[in-house]
Amino acid sequence: MKIYRSYVNAFTLLELLVVVSIIGVLAALAVPVSQRVLHQARSSHCIGNLRQLGAAVNLHLAENNNFLPTLEAGRSSKDDDVAVIDNTYDAYTEDGDEVFCCKADHKNLFETTGTSYMWNHLINGQNVASLEFMGFIRNSTRIPVIGDKEGFHHFRDVRVNILYADGHVAKEIQFLVAEP
């Protein structure tokens, strides 16, 4: 006489719930990590753009006896006929318009204004060898030239990427300078 088993080899409901909950916990841990990695990649791309713009500024300086151009800090629309960084330095960049677009620009400022970056209008027309900023002649390592228009890189801080007159790029706490 054969004995038949009364149960089938399968997972129990409890085992399935444990597996699903473990997968849920792992997914909950992975989402913030992936967001942070994506944020850092966008910030690194932005820093690369600012370095390319620094090279464009240096090429312009070489052609203009070390004098900076006179530019507006920004514009409200691409259609505005004002001198800003994208229409001044476009000829000095290899990547065309892409160098003026920060990947973290979630407010779409690039599409509306032509650039995700702003020019420090307080250094307009000055000789780079003796830059004056806020009424003082300063070391070029502390004078901002181009920076993010907005704090695109908010993940856990309020820092923006800034290109300084000596060519280095750093993340700094956002500051505002009013129009004169």
User: Does residue 180 sit within a domain?
Assistant: no
Instruction: Quickly state the pLDDT bin for 63 (edges 50, 70, 90).
Output: very high
pLDDT digits (tens, 9 = 90+) for 7-49: 667 778 888 999 999 999 999 888 888 888 887 888 888 899 9
The pLDDT, as a whole number, for residue 56 is: 92
**pLDDT band at residue 146 under the 50/70/90 scheme:** very high
Find out whether 129 and 135 touch, Cβ atoms under 8 Å. Answer: no
Name the pTM for this structure: 0.76
Tell me, yes or no, whether 55 lies in a domain: yes
Q: What angle do CA 131, 73, 120 make, to 5 degrees?
A: 25
CA distance 120 to 20: 54
Residue 2 lies in a domain: no
CA–CA separation, 118 and 72 (whole Å): 8
Q: How many CA atoms lie within 13 A of 146 on its CB side?
A: 34
Q: Which domain holds residue 119?
A: 13-173
SS3 22: helix
DSSP 145: E
**pLDDT for res 179:** 47
Length of the chain as a residue count = 180
59, part of any domain: yes
**Does 24 reside within a domain?**
yes
Cα separation of 128 and 167, whole Å? 11
| Tokens describing residue 14 | 């409890």
User: Average pLDDT, stretch 139-164?
Assistant: 77
Q: Rounded to whole angstroms, what are the CA distances from 75 to 9, 18, 176?
A: 70, 56, 16
* Residue at 5 is within a domain: no
Instruction: Establish if 4 belongs to a structural domain.
Output: no
Block residue for tokens 């228009």: 149
Based on the number of CB atoms within 10 Å of its own CB, is 34 exposed (0-12), middle (13-18) or buried (19 or more)?
A: exposed
Look at the chain and report how many structural domains it folds into.
1
Domain assignment of residue 8, yes or no: no
Number of continuous H segments (helices) and E segments (strands) in the chain: 3, 6
